[in-house]
Structure 1
Amino acid sequence: MDKNTGLIKMEKNIGPITCALIFIMDIVAGILAIEAEIAQNKVKNLTMWVLECRDPSYQAFKLGMAAAVLLALAHTIANLLGGCVCVWSKEELEKASANKQLAVASLIFSWILLIVGFSMLILGTQSNSSARKSCGIAHNRVFSVGGILCFIHGLFIVAYFVSATATVKEEKKAPQHGGNA
């Protein structure tokens, strides 16, 4: 009995810890991305309209890569620990509880933010990975935008985690209906 009580207590305490971990990872990813932008702006560059020639920044490369990894890791942890909240039709979504509707909406927005933010971070990282001076279309503020998207992603992914775990608890407590309608 004591062993089960301890497990139940641990299960109740892991939610806030997980939320904090996910949110902190996204915030750190955003800060690292902004620091990568600062490091990138310290290198020499020559800009003419939309074309830019500049030296790569190894510091910006490292910071951008770390930000991208943290963003992906935060998203993965939230999705694995939050569970799968799926809705297969518009009618099912309309009949779903508020928690389930919030979980679905937050999941969709978090995936959009992940794709766009991760792409921005990888684009900035890739532009700083070459060993020689590069010329091409200017990628100004790519890291900053990616960092801001990390912050916003943190809000949506935590909302998903909280609403998904609440939905799972609701579905466990709900009485199961038999085959009779």
Structure 2
Amino acid sequence: MVKNYGFLVCIVVIVMDVVAGILGIQAEIAQNKVKDLKMWVLVCRDPSYQAFKLGLSASILLALAHAIAHFLGGCICTKSIEEYKRATSNRQLAMAFLILSWILLGVDFSMLIIGTLANSRSRESCGISNHRFLSIGGVLCFVHGLFTVAYFVSATATKREEYK
């Protein structure tokens, strides 16, 4: 029996990343609804529990989508530059998208976690105004979905080439 679950995996990863992006943007909206006190260049803001929940949910969905795509796509790695240059175009694409998706995961996850922790109930934040970490993280979720699906497709194509 042939296992052709690639289309389903792509749809699941895209949906999870889109939902994570929407949750990140909604968390920013919830955070902006909280009253803040501005004193000269400092801004004091009470934490928003709704923004905390939405940001945490977005972070979890982002990590889960990344894990699913990379676990089911497998690891397409090369050991040296020479091996990379001799590799097929699908393998080279898989390596490029692997690196880009990990970089985006690091930046995106960091942005979402920083924005989420700013809304933790245990602290009231006073400092220079928050620079929209949650909304930037939400937008980057969409880009992460594209690179992760591109990695999954090229990794699957590489495996099929090697099998033949």
Please give the range of the TM-score, normalised by the shorter of the 2 chains: over 0.9
Q: How does 1:1-181 map to 2 (within 5 A)?
A: 7-8=1-2, 11-12=3-4, 14-48=5-39, 51-173=42-164
Q: Alignment identity in percent?
A: 64
Measured in 2, the distance between the counterparts of 1:97 and 1:172 equals 14
Local SS of the residue matching 2:44: strand
**Distance in 2 of aligned mates of 1:29 and 1:162:** 21
Structure 2 unmatched ranges of 5 or more:
none
Bigger relative CO (Cα 8 Å, ≥ 6 apart): 2
Q: Tell me how large the CA RMSD over aligned residues is.
A: 1.2
- Following the alignment from structure 1 to structure 2, what is the Cα–Cα distance between the partners of residues 132 and 150? 27
Higher CA-based Rg? 1
Q: How many angstroms does 1:134 deviate by?
A: 2.3
In the TM superposition, residue 48 of structure 1 has moved relative to its aligned partner by 4.5
TM-score by length of 1: 0.87
CA distance in 1: counterparts of 2:68 and 2:87, whole angstroms: 25
The letter of the residue matching 1:61 is: F
Q: Which runs of 5+ in 1 are unaligned?
A: 1-6, 174-181
Aligned length: 164
Find the aligned partners of 2:39 and 2:80 in 1 and give their Cα distance. Answer: 51
Structure 1 segments of 4+ aligned residues over 6 angstroms from their partners = none
